Amino acid sequence: MPQVYEKEIVYDYPAAHTLLWLMRKYPNPQSPQVFSVDTISRTMDPDTGVVRSERILGIKQGAPKWITKLFSLPQTTYVREVIFIDPAKDQATMMSMNLDLAQYINVLEYITYTPFPREQGGTAPSTLFRQHALMHSAFPTRMIARRIEKASVDRFKSNAETGKMGFDWVLRKGLEFSGNMNGNGNGNGASLA
């Protein structure tokens, strides 16, 4: 049976700011495992204004030792990510899937970024991040398939907090950069590196 991982996070930034910096989420100091981000295409629907971006992320993150030894896996993997940003509604939808190691595990991820309603406890404009990931292994031995799925869920859990800290860092740097560009900063400029 496939394993599911779900997470909700509230970012203390308005949705418009969050979406502006979403495409610059990587690199950041909290996510050194993401070593490359290659944009394959970026288009805008002239009628709706929705921006569609497709990227390939290179990730170097070791699998659990028992999996690496059993299957002689490489340390790098690649993920295809498709993002739809709707600036009129201040929301984004992101879907991703692994491009390799699919003979062992398929990971499908669906993420939304939406304005966080004040009536649900938001005190200032903020953004609600919702993540839903499905991990399914079709490995012939059921016991091993379940262990692979569980290891994938555990990885998602361990990356959740560092992922939030990394994107918070990008969003904070984005505010500093915007302030400096508008003449509100110290004039030294801000770097995302």
pLDDT in tens, 144-172: 999 999 998 998 888 888 889 999 999 99
For the question of whether the overall pTM of this predicted structure is more than 0.75, the answer is yes
Tell me, what amino acid is at 186? N
In tens, the pLDDT along 7-58 reads 999 999 999 999 999 999 998 999 998 999 999 999 999 999 999 999 999 9
Length of the chain: 193
Question: Which distant-in-sequence residues (6+ apart) come within 8 Å of 160 by Cβ?
Answer: 7, 9, 131
Residue 75 has pLDDT above 90, yes or no: no
Q: What domains, with CATH codes, occur in the chain?
A: 3-180 (3.30.530.20)
- Burial of 84 from C-beta contacts in 10 A (0-12 / 13-18 / 19+): middle
Q: Range with the lowest mean pLDDT among 35-49, 75-89, 98-112, 116-130?
A: 116-130
Confidence of residue 193 (pLDDT cuts 50, 70, 90): very low
Residue 190 has pLDDT above 70, yes or no: no
